[in-house]
Amino acid sequence: MTREPTSFHQTRFQPPPGSTEILLVRHGASAPLVLGEEFPMLAGQGDPPLAPEGREQAERVGERLATESIDAIYVSSMQRTHETAAPLVARTGLEPIVEPDLREVHLGDWEGGLLRQKAAEMHPTYLAMRDQGRWDVIPNAETAEAFRLRTTAVIDRIAENHRDRLAVVVCHGGVIGALCAHATGGRPFSLGGSDNASISHLIITDEQWILRRFNDSTHLYASLSLRAGT
């Protein structure tokens, strides 16, 4: 005779069968924009290398993820993602797979690092872009919808290739914000601003995307509070 259970404990979430776990890693801090200069360009987009602090952040990401059972590492076409992935690649021996559609949002007339300057100046167009949640407030910039469709399509492809496995995707802050907003149904900019070299965690199933964590930076900073310093 089978005895019916008399107590029911809380259990940790488990990915559904056939799903894919994806760790979204934002690249490390990139080189600063110097007035009068422009970033190196790649296919019409700014392509700066990592700054020294970005290389240190990349090492910490490599240390944090080295013991995970990673099936594949993906990077965008931009050099800052390759440089961020390099310490993890060295530790795992996995060859990074380049997915050009993981590149950052195209900023139109503000490419080459100009967005940083306009943000620091609190330029009216920057404020309108932020308030409206639309990249194309910037002249000739990629629309939020085009950006969402491009980036979600590449994640769907990656998920299909790694069912019941874990993939690491090293990409960009705008990309991570768009993907996490898609998963949660949030506004386009509601999950922007992830820290350099932070980790966000998606579960992709045939029916839905699930956001398990956002902007995990415990490998970088001692405190959870932004007011406590680093």
Which domains does the chain carry? 20-105+142-217 (3.40.50.1240)
CB 99 within 8 A of CB 158: yes
- The Cα–Cα gap between 51 and 104 comes to 18
Among 28, 38, 50, smallest CA distance to 170 is for: 28
pLDDT at 221: 92
User: Does residue 2 carry a pLDDT above 90?
Assistant: no
CB 49 within 8 A of CB 27: no
Percent of the chain clearing pLDDT 70 (strictly above): 98
CB atoms within 10 A of CB 88: 24
**pLDDT digits over 88-128, tens only?**
999 999 999 999 999 999 999 999 999 999 999 999 999 99
- The Cα–Cα gap between 155 and 99 comes to 10
Summarize the confidence of residues 191-199 as an average pLDDT: 95
User: Residue 79 has which token pair?
Assistant: 């050099």
Summarize the confidence of residues 191-203 as an average pLDDT: 96
pLDDT at 60: 98
CB 47 within 8 A of CB 103: no
Q: What is the pTM of this model?
A: 0.94
